[in-house]
A and B are shown apart, each in its own frame.
Chain A
């Protein structure tokens, strides 16, 4: 009578190895072994150096865009909470536009749009930034940074607004100036509140990075696409790619859970 199981039955510890779970794990291992034995992996020897370089580029793009995007998201969130209307309205509009249009479109707008505009100005072609704007990765980093800032700006708006005003008043009563109050009271508590959401947004950002391959940045996904084109092996590179992203996602979730565990929580 499985129909009458209660919710508590769902919450059994995952570690307990029940018989059906052992069977499922065995089936999973058999499937993985079969994939390793019967599918074609001979291309791996030729492409693994390229794949590692692509993996590194994906991770690098993820870290850079998340850090810059977060730094940009703080003023966006703050402006929407306490800013005057001439600051909060543009911030809100920015977040709405970013969240209301597909990332792929934003990337293509910047790459094809800006990219086609720059070469038409001779002074740009003679300046020092020309080698930079000729490549694709600055546009990828810019687009992903703005996208992350838009999504996280909205998260931080809620987080800043959610810090109890008594905390800020207490800080003010201690004679903290605005900057110190922000740095010591408001920001840490907001980040603490937003941490689970931030973890989710970072995983989303990781899953967005393959889009940069559409503008010729050679990330991990681009390497797998190249293997597909060169060797006409379709499934194996994609499956390996999916596995790699799963591992990366697991790593990110683990890192964030470690950060969360470091913050002391008082259980009432």
Chain B
């Protein structure tokens, strides 16, 4: 009986299953992969914007804004991403539509990818706030004071001094966040968005070749992680130009 297993596995070979055109499922996987990357990039970018605002607000904002941001980062980081994604996924379109109805407009459909980006980006923002806050604090504060002494206004100070100077301290944390954002897109499978993990499960469920497809998806995820690591290393090298290597300064 045991060889019937291998027979059923061998009937359609791995390469036929992964072929890019139907009846192969490779095209679906690649489409899901591209969706995942798009959502990941969008969520990371949104998180970065929230994070920059949050970090500056936490450091230079008034007492109320600081406390509210503290509540935001603490609550978001204490609750599972899956729960937050569900909450935001349900709540955001609902709130928008209620707002539109009270204003007298018709309902709109918030697209799946958009809700996903908002949900993941909102979560990313809390982590990015903490990473960037730490990075800003790691900048020798005399540099920022010097900029202020030259009469730079806050915008110019941020653009010319704080952001470039904090970059080397922020990149390891941000790199980690990017990988978390990309892997976090898999959670959108639970709410039914067609990213790589859900496409994989559909393909696997139809063909019953579970190992083949989940392994293939794993390879795709891993590939992007490894490529990201190489690119991030280069960016970090660039951001650290003119500084001591970490190993020696330790």
Contact = CB atoms under 8 A, between A and B. Distances in A.
Interface of A: 2-3, 5, 7, 10, 18, 20-21, 24, 96-97, 99-106, 108-109, 112-113, 116-117, 120-122, 203, 206-211, 214, 221, 234-235, 238-239, 241-242, 245-246, 249-250
A239 B86 CA distance: 10
Interface stretch (B159-167, B182-190, B235-243): B182-190
Contact of A3 (B1, B90, B154, B183): B154
B83 A241 contact: yes
**How large, as a class, is the contact surface on chain B?**
35 or more
Contacts of B4: 120
Q: Which of B63, B64, B154 has the most CB of A within 10 A?
A: B63
Contacts, number: 129
6 contacts: A3-B60, A105-B200, A112-B214, A120-B2, A121-B1, A245-B79
B174 interface: no
Looking at chain B's contact residues, the main secondary structure is helix
A249 B200 contact: no
Nearest to B224: A100
A102 B215 CA distance: 12
A210 B221 contact: no
B78 interface: yes
Given A20-B67, A100-B221, A104-B187, A239 B78 contact: no
Interface in B201-216: 201, 204-205, 208, 210-211, 214-215
B91 interface: yes
Nearest to A112: B210
B230 to A, nearest CB: 13
Contact of B78 (A120, A122, A246): A246
Given A2-B61, A234-B90, A109 B83 contact: no
A105 B81 contact: no
A239 B79 contact: no
Given A102-B184, A235-B91, 19 more contacts: A2-B61, A7-B137, A10-B66, A20-B63, A20-B64, A24-B64, A100-B179, A100-B226, A102-B183, A104-B189, A104-B190, A109-B211, A112-B214, A120-B1, A120-B5, A122-B1, A209-B80, A242-B87, A246-B79
